[in-house]
């Protein structure tokens, strides 16, 4: 089994796709003609968005995301965390945590997307060397 995609529920799928394209330089795979579903390429796993309206029609009751009380986060890995953080903020992301070097050797930062989802921008994790 593989993780194929993660779907976030948003009010405006087209606007969210456009934000992620600007903020994180992701490539749009498609936006359904209804405007209720779209996907972005992120490597092996796709990042997808579905409208709250569609999910409600399907009998679901999506919760409202909150960067201050997140239940999960999206993480984008890059070799230049500072530049990626600046780009995201310039595109409209709200800073949550400025760029900092962590004790485990990773550089991290956090922003909130316009929907309230928490997004980590980080360097690769430095794995301990094997013996």
Question: Which tens digits make up the pLDDT trace of 12-40?
Answer: 999 999 999 999 999 999 999 999 999 99
* CATH number, residue 91: 3.30.720.110
Query: Are 69 and 53 part of one and the same domain?
Result: no
Question: Which tens digits make up the pLDDT trace of 80-131?
Answer: 999 999 999 999 999 999 999 999 999 999 999 999 999 999 999 877 664 5
pTM of the entire predicted model: 0.91
Concatenated DSSP letters for the chain?
A: ----EEEEEES-HHHHHHHHHHHH-PEEEEE-TTSSEEEEE-SSSEEEEEEHHHHHHTT--PPPP-SSS-S--EEEE-S-HHHHHHHHHHTTPEEEEEEEE-TTS-EEEEEE-TTS-EEEEEPPP-PPP--
pLDDT for position 126: 77
Q: Which domain holds residue 85?
A: 64-131
């Amino acid at each position: 089994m593989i993780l194929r995609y993660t779907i976030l529920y948003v009010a405006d799928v087209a606007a969210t796709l456009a934000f992620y394209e600007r903020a994180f330089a992701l490539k749009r795979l498609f936006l359904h003609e209804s405007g209720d579903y779209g996907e972005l390429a992120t490597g092996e796993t796709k990042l997808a968005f579905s409208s709250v309206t569609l999910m409600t029609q399907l009998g679901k009751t999506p919760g409202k995301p909150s960067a201050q009380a997140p239940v999960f986060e999206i993480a984008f890995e890059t070799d230049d965390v500072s530049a990626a953080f600046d780009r995201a903020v310039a595109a409209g992301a709200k800073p949550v945590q400025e760029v900092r070097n962590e004790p485990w050797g990773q550089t991290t930062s956090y922003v909130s997307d316009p929907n309230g989802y928490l997004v980590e921008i980080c360097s690769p994790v430095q794995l301990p060397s094997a013996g």
